[in-house]
Chain A
Amino acid sequence: MDPSRKRRIRLIVALTAAICLAGALMVTTFSAASPERIPSQLVASAEPGKTYKLGGKVVDGSIKREGDTMVFRVRDPKGRATVPVSYTGAVPDPFREGREVIVTVKKHGNTFVGERDSLVTKCPSKFQNEQKS
Chain B
Amino acid sequence: MATFGSACLILAFAVSLFGIGASLMGAQRGRADWIASGRRAVFALAGLATAAFVVLESMFLTDDFSNEVVVSHSSTTTPFFYKAAAAWSSQEGSLLLWLFLLSVWSSLVLVLVRRRLRDVTPYATAVLLGLGAFFAGLLVFLEHPFSTLPAAPSEGIGLSPLLRHPSMMIHPPMLYSGYTLFTIPFAFAIGALIVRRVDAEWIRSTRRFALAAWIFLGVGIILGARWSYAELGWGGYWAWDPVENASLMPWLVGTAFIHSVMIQEKRGMLKVWNVSLILGTGILCLLGTFLVRSGILQSIHAFGASTLGVPFITLIALLIFGSIALVVSRRDSLRSEHRLDSLWSREAIFLMNNIVLVGLCVVVWWGTFFPLISEAITGDPASVGPPWFDKYVVPLTILLVLLSGIAPLIAWRRSTLANARRNLLWPAVTAVVAFVALLLLGVGERPWALLMFVVGAFVLAAVAQEFWRGTVARRAMSGESPPRALLQLVRRNRRRYGGYIVHAGIAVLFIGVAASSAFQDAVDARLQVGQSAKVGEYTVTYQKPFADLVIARGDLERIDIGAVMRVEKDGKYVTTMRPSRGFYPSRAFVAFGPVGRFFEGEATSEVGLQAGRLRDVWVAMTPDINTLEPVIKEGNKVFTDAADELPPEMAGAALAQALRGITQRYVADPPPATFRMHVSPLVSWVWIGALLVLLGGITAAWPGGPDLATRKVKAGYAARVAQDLGRA
Residues of A within 8 A of B (CB): 21-22, 25-26, 29-30, 32-36, 53, 55, 64-65, 67-68, 77-78, 88-94, 96, 100, 104, 116, 118, 120, 122-130, 132-133
When distances are taken between beta carbons in the complex, the residues of chain B under 8 Å from A77 are 299, 301
Docked-complex contact A93 and B676, CB < 8 angstroms: no
When distances are taken between beta carbons in the complex, the residues of chain A under 8 Å from B392 are 25
When distances are taken between beta carbons in the complex, the residues of chain B under 8 Å from A35 are 380-382
Docked-complex contact A25 and B363, CB < 8 angstroms: yes
How many residues of chain B are within 8 Å of chain A by beta carbon? 59
How distant is A95 from chain B, measured CB to nearest CB, in Å? Answer: 9
Docked-complex contact A30 and B374, CB < 8 angstroms: yes
Docked-complex contact B157 and A132, CB < 8 angstroms: yes
When distances are taken between beta carbons in the complex, the residues of chain B under 8 Å from A126 are 292, 295, 298
Docked-complex contact A36 and B381, CB < 8 angstroms: yes
Q: A67-B526, A92-B233 are in contact. Are A29 and B367 (CB under 8 A)?
A: yes
Docked-complex contact A93 and B233, CB < 8 angstroms: yes
User: Does B160 touch A at the CB level, under 8 Å?
Assistant: yes
Docked-complex contact B241 and A120, CB < 8 angstroms: yes
Whole-angstrom CA separation of A77 from B305 in the bound complex: 13
Docked-complex contact A123 and B298, CB < 8 angstroms: yes
When distances are taken between beta carbons in the complex, the residues of chain B under 8 Å from A65 are 624, 626
User: Does B586 touch A at the CB level, under 8 Å?
Assistant: yes
Docked-complex contact A34 and B382, CB < 8 angstroms: yes
When distances are taken between beta carbons in the complex, the residues of chain B under 8 Å from A92 are 232-234
User: Does B587 touch A at the CB level, under 8 Å?
Assistant: yes
Docked-complex contact A33 and B382, CB < 8 angstroms: yes
How distant is A36 from chain B, measured CB to nearest CB, in Å? Answer: 4
Which one of A36, A90, A96 lies within 8 Å of B676 (CB-CB)?
A90
When distances are taken between beta carbons in the complex, the residues of chain A under 8 Å from B109 are none
Give the residues from 61 to 83 in chain B that come closer than 8 angstroms, CB to CB, to chain A. 71-73
Residues of B within 8 A of A (CB): 71-73, 89, 157-160, 162-163, 172, 231-234, 239, 241-243, 292, 295, 298-299, 301, 359, 362-363, 366-367, 370-371, 374, 378, 380-385, 387-388, 392, 524, 526, 586-588, 601-605, 620, 622, 624, 626, 674-676
Q: A93-B162, A126-B295 are in contact. Are A29 and B602 (CB under 8 A)?
A: no
Whole-angstrom CA separation of A55 from B320 in the bound complex: 32
When distances are taken between beta carbons in the complex, the residues of chain A under 8 Å from B243 are 123, 125
Docked-complex contact B160 and A127, CB < 8 angstroms: yes
Most A CB within 10 A of own CB, among B242, B382, B622: B382
Closest to A91 in B: B622
How distant is B336 from chain A, measured CB to nearest CB, in Å? Answer: 11
When distances are taken between beta carbons in the complex, the residues of chain B under 8 Å from A133 are 157, 587-588
Which one of A26, A91, A125 lies within 8 Å of B366 (CB-CB)?
A26
How distant is A45 from chain B, measured CB to nearest CB, in Å? Answer: 12
How distant is B568 from chain A, measured CB to nearest CB, in Å? Answer: 22
Docked-complex contact A29 and B526, CB < 8 angstroms: no
When distances are taken between beta carbons in the complex, the residues of chain A under 8 Å from B374 are 30, 33
Docked-complex contact B233 and A96, CB < 8 angstroms: no
How distant is B352 from chain A, measured CB to nearest CB, in Å? Answer: 11
Q: A90-B620, A90-B674 are in contact. Are A129 and B160 (CB under 8 A)?
A: yes
Closest to A35 in B: B382
Most A CB within 10 A of own CB, among B601, B626, B674: B674
When distances are taken between beta carbons in the complex, the residues of chain A under 8 Å from B233 are 90, 92-93
Closest to B298 in A: A122
13 contacts between A and B (CB under 8 A): A29-B370, A30-B374, A33-B370, A33-B384, A33-B388, A90-B674, A92-B233, A127-B160, A127-B163, A129-B72, A129-B157, A129-B158, A132-B72
How distant is A14 from chain B, measured CB to nearest CB, in Å? Answer: 9
Docked-complex contact B241 and A123, CB < 8 angstroms: yes
How distant is A113 from chain B, measured CB to nearest CB, in Å? Answer: 16
When distances are taken between beta carbons in the complex, the residues of chain A under 8 Å from B524 are 68, 88-90, 116
How distant is B553 from chain A, measured CB to nearest CB, in Å? Answer: 18
Whole-angstrom CA separation of A78 from B301 in the bound complex: 10
When distances are taken between beta carbons in the complex, the residues of chain A under 8 Å from B626 are 64-65
Closest to A122 in B: B298
Whole-angstrom CA separation of A133 from B72 in the bound complex: 9
When distances are taken between beta carbons in the complex, the residues of chain B under 8 Å from A125 are 89, 172, 243, 292
Whole-angstrom CA separation of A116 from B172 in the bound complex: 31
When distances are taken between beta carbons in the complex, the residues of chain B under 8 Å from A29 are 366-367, 370, 384, 388
Whole-angstrom CA separation of A63 from B280 in the bound complex: 45
When distances are taken between beta carbons in the complex, the residues of chain A under 8 Å from B605 are 93
Whole-angstrom CA separation of A116 from B524 in the bound complex: 10
How distant is B653 from chain A, measured CB to nearest CB, in Å? Answer: 25
Whole-angstrom CA separation of A59 from B601 in the bound complex: 15
The 8 closest A-B pairs by CB, nearest first: A33-B382, A90-B676, A36-B381, A129-B157, A89-B524, A127-B160, A93-B233, A35-B382
When distances are taken between beta carbons in the complex, the residues of chain B under 8 Å from A116 are 524
Whole-angstrom CA separation of A22 from B362 in the bound complex: 9
Q: A89-B524, A118-B385 are in contact. Are A100 and B298 (CB under 8 A)?
A: yes
When distances are taken between beta carbons in the complex, the residues of chain A under 8 Å from B71 are 132
Whole-angstrom CA separation of A100 from B298 in the bound complex: 9
How distant is B269 from chain A, measured CB to nearest CB, in Å? Answer: 13
Which one of B242, B602, B603 lies within 8 Å of A129 (CB-CB)?
B602
Whole-angstrom CA separation of A61 from B697 in the bound complex: 51
Whole-angstrom CA separation of A100 from B301 in the bound complex: 13
Docked-complex contact A53 and B383, CB < 8 angstroms: yes
When distances are taken between beta carbons in the complex, the residues of chain B under 8 Å from A122 are 295, 298
Whole-angstrom CA separation of A55 from B295 in the bound complex: 14
When distances are taken between beta carbons in the complex, the residues of chain A under 8 Å from B674 are 68, 90
Whole-angstrom CA separation of A111 from B674 in the bound complex: 23
Q: A32-B388, A68-B526 are in contact. Are A129 and B299 (CB under 8 A)?
A: no
Docked-complex contact B160 and A90, CB < 8 angstroms: no
How distant is B355 from chain A, measured CB to nearest CB, in Å? Answer: 8
When distances are taken between beta carbons in the complex, the residues of chain B under 8 Å from A22 are 362
When distances are taken between beta carbons in the complex, the residues of chain B under 8 Å from A123 are 241-243, 292, 295, 298
Docked-complex contact A90 and B622, CB < 8 angstroms: yes
When distances are taken between beta carbons in the complex, the residues of chain A under 8 Å from B588 are 130, 133
When distances are taken between beta carbons in the complex, the residues of chain B under 8 Å from A128 are 72-73, 160
Docked-complex contact B162 and A124, CB < 8 angstroms: yes
